[in-house]
Amino acid sequence: MPESQIDQLIKSETDDIIHQEMNLLRENEFGNDNHSLNDVDPVIRQELGELLERFHKTMPIVVQPSPPREVVPPENFSHVVGEIYRSSVPRVENFHFLQHRLKLKSVLVLIPEELPAENEDFLQRADIHLFQVGMSGNKEPFVNIPSDLLTRAMEIVLNPANQPILIHCNRGKHRTGCLIGCIRKLQNWSLTMIFDEYRRFAFPKARALDQQFIEMYDDEEIKRIANDNNWLPIQW
């Protein structure tokens, strides 16, 4: 067991007493200059050791609390609404936060590529369900997010059985931003507010095509599904 500060203080005081006794011995010619702490009367040594042992047994054991584990959210992390969250691809240092702070039940991935092996291992160990609705981002000249895929993603996110849920693409900016923008439409946000939120997370590479997609997205199908399942209105 590591020595406590009290133990060290007692030993220090003990050594001082022994030094004083040695000096007295030298002054009275009962000792010589070759004395060391190890040469002191073994009876005194034993008595001091027993005293320290008895003192240690009577002192309460103080257990120092472990320092709190550092909480590290993923980049571009934010609460969306209710138990819905958004971010970039989580890294190893974010796993504790996702499992123990958010207590995630599901993760929705919007990229078609496989996740890093450590992410898949973490989700399996933490018993977090993985949904993957891979889609390409809106890019000139002819690449657009298919509306049916976004509707499928919305159906996963809005289902309370999958929440708490984290949504992410690569950087948590464009594809994630489009999905969040469409959720805001269900909340009856104005386009001005929706686009302002989109641009804040997409900075410095906001895409006009993403904002056009949000504006033009036909949400009748997801509204029908959500209303049939009593998922609307979305609870804050």
Query: What HEC string does 60-124 produce?
Result: CCCCCCCCCCCCCCCCCCEEEECCEEEECCCCHHHHHHHHHHCCCCEEEECCCCCCCHHHHHHHH
CB 49 within 8 A of CB 71: no
Q: Is 178 a catalytic residue?
A: no
CB 172 within 8 A of CB 87: yes
> Which of 213, 120, 202, 130 is CA-nearest to residue 167?
130
| Residue of 169, 182, 194, 202 marked active site | 169
CB 148 within 8 A of CB 121: no
Q: What is the spatial distance between Cα 19 and Cα 11, in angstroms, rounded to a whole number?
A: 12
Q: Active-site residues: which are they?
A: 169
